[in-house]
Amino acid sequence: MEYNDSNVKVVQHLIHFYNVTKTYDNGVKALSDITLRIRKGEFVFLVGPSGAGKSTLMKMIYREELPTRGQVMFNGRNVVRLRSREIPLLRRKIGMVFQDFRLLPQKTVAENVSFALEVTGASRKYIRKAVPLVLQRVGMLEKANCYPAQISGGEQQRVGIARAIVNNPVLILADEPTGNLDPDTAKEIMELFNVINRNGTTIIMATHARDIVDDMKRRVVKISGGRIVSDEESGVYSFAN
Amino acid sequence: MRISTILYCIREALVSILRNGWMTVASISIVAVSLVILGGSVLLVMNTGYLTQRLESKVEISVFLEEELAAADVKEIGEKIKSTAGVAEVKFIPKEKALQEMKKSLGSRAQVLEDLEKNPLPDAYRVKAEDANQVPALAGSFEQLDGVEMVRYGKGVVEKLLSVTQWLRVASWTLMGILGVSALFLISTSIRMSVFARRREISIMKLLGATNWYIRAPFLMEGLIMGLAGALLAVAVVYLGYIALVDKIKVSLPFINLVPGEEVFTVVPGALLGLGILIGIFGSLISIHRFLSDKKA
């Protein structure tokens, strides 16, 4: 947080989309003229039908896609203007969680998590200390030496979350993280995200899970046809179709 | 670079190499074959250099003089030969000495010379050139001199040796070039298969913030290991083959002197290993460049 001369709080935005338009090479228009601001510490749901542009919007934040027009600011930097060797550094500030977990099947739970630290060049000593702590946080310490195939989907997603937060990211991007889970397990996973958010990490989550969105009473950004159709604090899912 | 990172690269590279199976075998073999040809060609060049150098000291030009020349004329011709550029040494061989030498070389069959009424051999100068390549030109110029009957030298031997080795050199370099390009192609195909087998892992690594070089290094290592393995194979084949050849020639063709094995193997293995590694790294760079580069802004 910053303060200006008159001691009025100036809200610092973690993410700022300025008039972002994305047209893919094949002519498909994924986003048109999106302007969106997200503050540090927020928990934001992105909802909308499949193909509405939710994933494209998230990919812009971690520079997997570039906007055709417009700018994307993240953490005070213009993501569009990053040099390619700065991209890995950007991504180390962002934890990503996916519907299909994206764990490496030939690595154990602990190895999957430590992999995230290894690729950033962390020391062995730090990895040995950090991995058990984060596995403890997601309740997977007992299964540290299991392989992904040996644990349930909910447990695999806990490992995915552990891997996302082990770098202490400022932002978590979750793309339908409960999409492959039964409702009870999904609730547990959402509770985990809630705890992480309460500790100060910003979370952006794309989801189709109506009951989860309605339960959480958080900010809901609705996207349809590449445009933001509504943006409400403490919103509900409610789509006409 | 940290030791653990290097170990990580080697481990990942070996996993890929084993997984690619026959592709790896093919890549390593073709690197080996092309380097064996290169090694053989280098040995050939070294040996012809060595042989011509030895022949050089043996290649002499004999300048036979006309009969009944005045002693002053003989001397003048000698001076003219001596003053020609490229002449290293000139020796006068009077006809009497030439006859003696002939007798000596004929040995027990020298009988035939006894029947001659007079010495049929002319006076001659024996000329050594500074350089074997100049011999034909020098011989030609001596032929123009007045009072010279005939000029003789080991005509053809030197030229033939040089032209044959020249031809062999061109042929083996061409073959080695073609095989080298195939080696590059096979290694890059191998690496492409490895990249493909790991595309899921690579995409996860990118999302986790791995730098490009962290992702690329194992593939470079893979190319390097394949190039090195091929080169080691080639060095073994060339070394054992050459040692066997030298031994065989020592027995059956004792008058041919090859460069001794120890002398050859001070430079050749290093060159082959270096080149093998270069082929490996370059081959993997081709695939890395094509399949692991970033989206441009």
Q: At what angle do helices A109-118 and A153-165 cross, to 10 degrees?
A: 20
Within chain A, all domains assigned CATH 3.40.50.300 are found at 1-93+169-241
Helix (H) or strand (E) holding B279: helix B268-291
- Residues within 8 A of B (CB atoms), A 154-173 only: 163, 167
Q: Which two structure tokens, joined as six digits, stand for A107? A: 């690595």
Order of strands, sheet of B60-65, starting from the edge strand that comes earlier in the sequence: B87-93, B124-129, B60-65, B148-152
Q: Does A151 reach chain B within 8 Å, measured CB to CB?
A: no
Which tokens sit at B135?
């011999």
CB-side exposure of A71: number of CA atoms within 13 Å? 8
Interface predicted TM-score of the whole assembly (ipTM), two decimals: 0.87
Q: Which two tokens stand for residue B149?
A: 């009957």
Q: Which residues contact A168 (CB under 8 A, 6 or more apart)?
A: none
Q: Do A116 and B211 touch (CB under 8 A)?
A: no
Q: How far is B199 from chain A (nearest CA, A)?
A: 11
Decide if A116 and B214 are in contact by the 8 Å CB cutoff.
no
pLDDT in tens, A73-128: 999 999 999 998 899 999 999 999 999 999 999 899 999 999 999 988 888 899 99
Nearest to A119 among B200, B208, B296 (CB): B208
CB-hemisphere CA count at 13 Å for B198?
24
Q: For residue B296, what pLDDT is reported?
A: 45
Per CB-CB distance under 8 Å, the chain A contacts of B8 are: 118
- Radius of gyration from C-alpha coordinates of chain B: 31
Q: How confident is the model at residue B57 (pLDDT cuts 50, 70, 90)?
A: low
**pLDDT, tens only, B131-164:** 767 777 888 888 888 888 888 876 566 667 777 7
Q: Which residues pair with A73 in a beta bridge?
A: A16, A78
CB–CB of A205/A220 below 8 Å? Answer: no
pLDDT tens series, chain A, 241 aa: 445 455 555 557 999 999 999 999 998 899 999 999 999 999 999 999 988 899 999 999 999 999 999 999 999 999 999 998 899 999 999 999 999 999 999 899 999 999 999 988 888 899 999 999 999 999 999 999 999 999 999 999 999 999 999 999 999 999 999 999 999 999 999 999 999 999 999 999 999 988 899 988 999 999 999 999 999 888 788 764 4
Alpha carbon of A68: minimum distance to chain B alpha carbons (Å):
10
Q: For domain A1-93+169-241, which CATH number applies: 3.40.630.40, 2.60.120.260, 3.40.50.300, 3.10.20.30?
A: 3.40.50.300
**Does the beta carbon of A107 lie under 8 angstroms from any beta carbon of chain B?**
no
- Give the span between the Cα atoms of B198 and B247, in whole angstroms: 50
Q: Which of B207, B212, B213, B289 is the best mutation test for A, with the most CBs of A within 10 A?
A: B207
Distances (CA, A) of B262 to A131, B45, B48: 56, 16, 17
Tell me whether residues A84 and B294 touch, CB distance under 8 A. yes
Domains of chain B: residue spans and CATH = 3-54+159-291 (no CATH), 60-153 (3.30.70.3040)
Please tell me whether residue A38 adopts helix, strand or coil conformation: strand
